[in-house]
Chain A
Amino acid sequence: MSVISIFFTALFYISLIVFLVGMARKIHQFWITPVPLKIPTAPTPLTQTGVVMRMMREVVLFESLFKSNKWIWLFGWLFHFGLLLVLIRHIRYFWPGDLPGIFLLTQPFKYAAFAMIIGLVGLMLRRIFVERIRYISSPSDYLMLIMLLIIGASGAVMTFTSNHTDIIMVKEFVSGLVSFNWSNLPTEVHFLVHIFLVFVLMAIFPISKLLHVPGIFFSPTLNQVDDARSKRHISPWALKQEQEHATRLEQTLGKDE
């Protein structure tokens, strides 16, 4: 194996471990952090089914964002939905051996790359030209968009221009990563840039704003049922505190403290 292949193979596993460990820790942190109070935001669902429906609308359609700002919604949704389709299409590279016929259906998903890029460009333009968004942007916010843009653009270059990379070799390399059957990877610059940034993105996922992905599912304003009167909601620390205070209350209840 070439040095560069060893480097990328190693980078993949390192990034993957950072991603998995980092996300597991973060999700664990979100999970164990108590929610002391009922704080769902209107329009609040009164049932668990309602919460599931609300979460689906938020995750799939970006409902709140739609109510909020049509341009951000349009670009944001184009990007995310484009990315999803492109990712689905990428499964073929991880699939060891011959592809089942079903993959033919994902063939047109390559055009989703344009949705993704249009979305990203739109978001970038807004970040630069809308004064309010420029004000709240840090360098990392631009950097994140630039990285995603380069990933998208380099992928599109390989797919839609004559700068194709050796797709057989790509598949062998990528599926080799999954099956621990390592092999060399193509060395065209646009491919290396593409894959390098993807690995980097994976590694920074748990320490960046990409945490909005698990975050939305843990957001108490979105995932709580509005049933405070009929069902008691209490956090472990508050319950403990309450039990400790019970003795003192016994002495003071019925009397002025």
Chain B
Amino acid sequence: MAKEFDIPVLPTYLEIPELKEGIMDGKGPFKSVQEFQNPLGFPGEKVDNWQQVAIDKMGELKSKYRSVQVFLDSCVKCGACTDKCHYFLGSSDPKNMPVARQDLFRSVYRRHFTFSGKYFPKLVGAKELDDDMLDDWYNYFHQCSQCRRCSVFCPYGIDTAEISMAAREVMDAVGIGQKYCNQILGKALTIGNNLGLPEPALRDTLLDLEEEIEEETGGVAVKYPLDQKGAEILLITPSADFFAEPHIDGLIGYGKVFHQDGVSWTLSSYASEGANFGMFIGSYDVMRKAALRIRKAALDLEVSRVMVGECGHAWRVAYSFWNTLSGVGKGATDEFAQKLQDQLDHRYPQPQHIIEYTHDLIQRGQLSFDKSANDDRTVTFHDSCNVARATNMGGIPGGQFILPRDVIKAVCNNYVDMERSTIKEATFCCGGGGGLLTDDLMEIRVKGAMPRMQALKAVAKNNGVNTLAAICAICKSQFSKVLPKFDFDPYMIVSVHQLVSEAIIMDKPQTAVQKDQQPQTDTDDAKLAETAET
């Protein structure tokens, strides 16, 4: 049912397009309905006095978030960001220029909250929040993947993601929610994951996976423990890792690394989701609710480490927000957070990224690899936006760029970076982040992928790159979908831990393998403590 559209042609050099006004006009993604809205505390349909509600909400948000207030006031319209958004570069729609997208919100702010906008609206471009404006909000704030690329290039650090989150929160408050995000959040907050996968189904899936690995490796019993109380590590990973391709090959990789290390670990059926769509809709409360499930799982399972799998915004929420939201980390004062802090092993960063963990094992020589297993590949790494611009790894400057590359280079012989202006802090979003990974937004997803595809094409052509590695579930899903539209092999997108999985030498003695669900013995604990010391 998606409308027909032209797939962008990949240019040799990325050019700034001429403006095509209105080309991405539309009604936006499918709207949420009562059954998804109400559980999140949002009205089921557009409220009668929606304008007043929206203005009040804007007032509330700008008084709760300094980012919103400062960013609304500080923009000088210098134009530095205008050619930085992948959705603009791919679509040519001027309202996809970061500043123009923000101005949909800022013009209403000016009209209602500033002297100049109240008395000289024409002069300063202040506008009323009418039906047309609301339509534009819904449409264009769902053409922003909150990737923060604009913020890197803004002289004041203005981050469109903050404005787009605020706008989505205002829309939710008046009853105009996005179906994709809000439906998923319902599942995550009741069942525990975005796919709505209940415990028995998850258990079956993991058992199948164990069998599959045992078969493939010729008898290595890699285990996928679920709800195993007393395990050392609780792994929080995006639920896509359990089902989707190529994600699941990454999950196989995590399992193999844990197996080789001999560490005890577990997944949780109660908190079986790393992704936190509460961030996409800009709601602190919803985001916190989702984060608290993870704290509860960590407490219930009595783990001493919390680890996060390959997921971009999950890592942003975990790394930057968990300590604030639920006290996973240091310094929180409420009873449960303190209990958790006593329980956690602070010799490790909490939370820790799976890449940090694998990287550390590689550094310490705990893993051995047959790099030639990946010799059919020439790999490039796609920095996922949330990881690249909103987090760190390893506690060293730029660690979020260094560690994943180190891991790839430890398991592959052929690695090439894409053009510098398209990676690291300047990375181009895959086009599907920020709650846009839904089929009803396929046009903007394909167009927004163009800048990344262009950079990929350059290294494919010049360096023979045939593998694109990523550490984000959304990136992986999005690339699987859009790669073929640009004449790439859809299977060229892989998890970093898939590359690890293919090269890792499984030489761990079989004795270390425990029977599933068995409580740990003292000997195991002693041995694990010993491993942790080294």
Are B64 and A72 in contact, with the CB atoms below 8 A?
Answer: no
Mark interface residues in A41-52 (1 if CB within 8 Å of B CB, else 0). Answer: 111111000100
Are A232 and B392 in contact, with the CB atoms below 8 A?
Answer: no
Given contacts A65-B155, A228-B320, A254-B296, contact A42 B389 (CB under 8 A): yes
Number of chain B interface residues as a range: 35 or more
A41, chain B: closest CB distance, angstroms: 4
A254 surroundings in chain B (CB, below 8 A)? 296, 299-300
B219 surroundings in chain A (CB, below 8 A)? none
- Complex: A50 Cα to B392 Cα, angstroms: 15
A145, chain B: closest CB distance, angstroms: 10
Are A38 and B320 in contact, with the CB atoms below 8 A?
Answer: yes
Stretch in B156-164, B237-245, B453-461, B516-524 touching the partner: B156-164
Does B8 lie at the interface of the complex (its beta carbon under 8 Å from any beta carbon of A)? Answer: no
Given contacts A132-B94, A221-B67, contact A39 B124 (CB under 8 A): no
Mark interface residues in A139-159 (1 if CB within 8 Å of B CB, else 0). Answer: 111010000000000000000
Are B153 and A136 in contact, with the CB atoms below 8 A?
Answer: no
Stretch in B47-55, B78-86, B474-482, B483-491 touching the partner: B78-86
- Complex: A138 Cα to B106 Cα, angstroms: 12
What residue in chain A is nearest B189 (Cβ atoms)?
A257
- Complex: A154 Cα to B94 Cα, angstroms: 37
Stretch in A84-92, A176-184, A205-213 touching the partner: A205-213
- Complex: A35 Cα to B335 Cα, angstroms: 24
Are A131 and B19 in contact, with the CB atoms below 8 A?
Answer: yes
Does A68 lie at the interface of the complex (its beta carbon under 8 Å from any beta carbon of B)? Answer: yes
A81, chain B: closest CB distance, angstroms: 14
- Complex: A238 Cα to B77 Cα, angstroms: 33
Does A96 lie at the interface of the complex (its beta carbon under 8 Å from any beta carbon of B)? Answer: no
B419, chain A: closest CB distance, angstroms: 15
B373 surroundings in chain A (CB, below 8 A)? none
Q: Which of A58, A208, A228 contacts B324 (CB 8 A)?
A: A228
Q: Which of A42, A67, A209 contacts B77 (CB 8 A)?
A: A209
Given contacts A29-B69, A136-B100, A249-B336, contact A41 B151 (CB under 8 A): yes
Are A136 and B79 in contact, with the CB atoms below 8 A?
Answer: yes
Q: Which of B78, B122, B285, B390 contacts A72 (CB 8 A)?
A: B78
**Residue total for A at the interface (Cβ-Cβ under 8 A):** 75
Are B80 and A69 in contact, with the CB atoms below 8 A?
Answer: yes
Does B75 lie at the interface of the complex (its beta carbon under 8 Å from any beta carbon of A)? Answer: yes
A126, chain B: closest CB distance, angstroms: 7
- Taking CB atoms and an 8 Å cut-off, the chain B residues in 398-449 that contact chain A are 398, 400, 424-426
Are B124 and A138 in contact, with the CB atoms below 8 A?
Answer: yes
Does B267 lie at the interface of the complex (its beta carbon under 8 Å from any beta carbon of A)? Answer: no
A26 surroundings in chain B (CB, below 8 A)? 73
Are A243 and B159 in contact, with the CB atoms below 8 A?
Answer: no
Are A33 and B62 in contact, with the CB atoms below 8 A?
Answer: yes
Stretch in B133-141, B200-208, B225-233, B325-333 touching the partner: B325-333
What residue in chain B is nearest A223 (Cβ atoms)?
B157
Does A24 lie at the interface of the complex (its beta carbon under 8 Å from any beta carbon of B)? Answer: no
Q: Which of B66, B327, B396 has the most CB of A within 10 A?
A: B66
Does A216 lie at the interface of the complex (its beta carbon under 8 Å from any beta carbon of B)? Answer: yes
- Complex: A33 Cα to B69 Cα, angstroms: 8
B320 surroundings in chain A (CB, below 8 A)? 37-39, 228
Q: Which of A44, A64, A220, A232 contacts B154 (CB 8 A)?
A: A64
Q: Which of A42, A141, A208, A242 contacts B152 (CB 8 A)?
A: A42
B319 surroundings in chain A (CB, below 8 A)? 228-229
A38, chain B: closest CB distance, angstroms: 5
- Complex: A40 Cα to B397 Cα, angstroms: 13
Q: Which of B115, B158, B424 contacts A219 (CB 8 A)?
A: B158
A77, chain B: closest CB distance, angstroms: 10
Does B533 lie at the interface of the complex (its beta carbon under 8 Å from any beta carbon of A)? Answer: no
- Complex: A135 Cα to B321 Cα, angstroms: 36
Mark interface residues in A118-142 (1 if CB within 8 Å of B CB, else 0). Answer: 0000010011001111011111110
- Complex: A234 Cα to B327 Cα, angstroms: 10
B323 surroundings in chain A (CB, below 8 A)? 228-229, 231-233
- Complex: A35 Cα to B68 Cα, angstroms: 10
Does B16 lie at the interface of the complex (its beta carbon under 8 Å from any beta carbon of A)? Answer: yes
Are A30 and B69 in contact, with the CB atoms below 8 A?
Answer: yes
- Complex: A152 Cα to B396 Cα, angstroms: 46
- Complex: A147 Cα to B162 Cα, angstroms: 32
- Taking CB atoms and an 8 Å cut-off, the chain A residues in 194-227 that contact chain B are 204, 207-209, 211-212, 215-216, 218-222, 226
- Complex: A148 Cα to B194 Cα, angstroms: 54
Q: Which of A208, A218, A221, A241 contacts B159 (CB 8 A)?
A: A221
Are A41 and B125 in contact, with the CB atoms below 8 A?
Answer: no
Are A246 and B83 in contact, with the CB atoms below 8 A?
Answer: no
Given contacts A132-B16, A132-B97, A212-B74, contact A231 B67 (CB under 8 A): no
Does B334 lie at the interface of the complex (its beta carbon under 8 Å from any beta carbon of A)? Answer: yes
What residue in chain A is nearest B154 (Cβ atoms)?
A64
Does B349 lie at the interface of the complex (its beta carbon under 8 Å from any beta carbon of A)? Answer: yes
- Taking CB atoms and an 8 Å cut-off, the chain B residues in 183-214 that contact chain A are none
10 residue pairs of the A-B complex, CB under 8 angstroms, read: A33-B63, A42-B424, A46-B397, A65-B155, A137-B77, A209-B76, A212-B76, A221-B151, A228-B321, A229-B349
Q: 8 closest pairs, A vs B, by CB? A: A232-B331, A215-B74, A138-B125, A221-B157, A68-B153, A133-B79, A42-B425, A68-B80
Contacts from A to B (Cβ < 8 Å): 26, 29-30, 33-46, 50, 58, 62, 64-65, 67-69, 72, 76, 123, 126-127, 130-133, 135-141, 143, 204, 207-209, 211-212, 215-216, 218-222, 226, 228-235, 237-238, 241-243, 246, 249-250, 253-254, 256
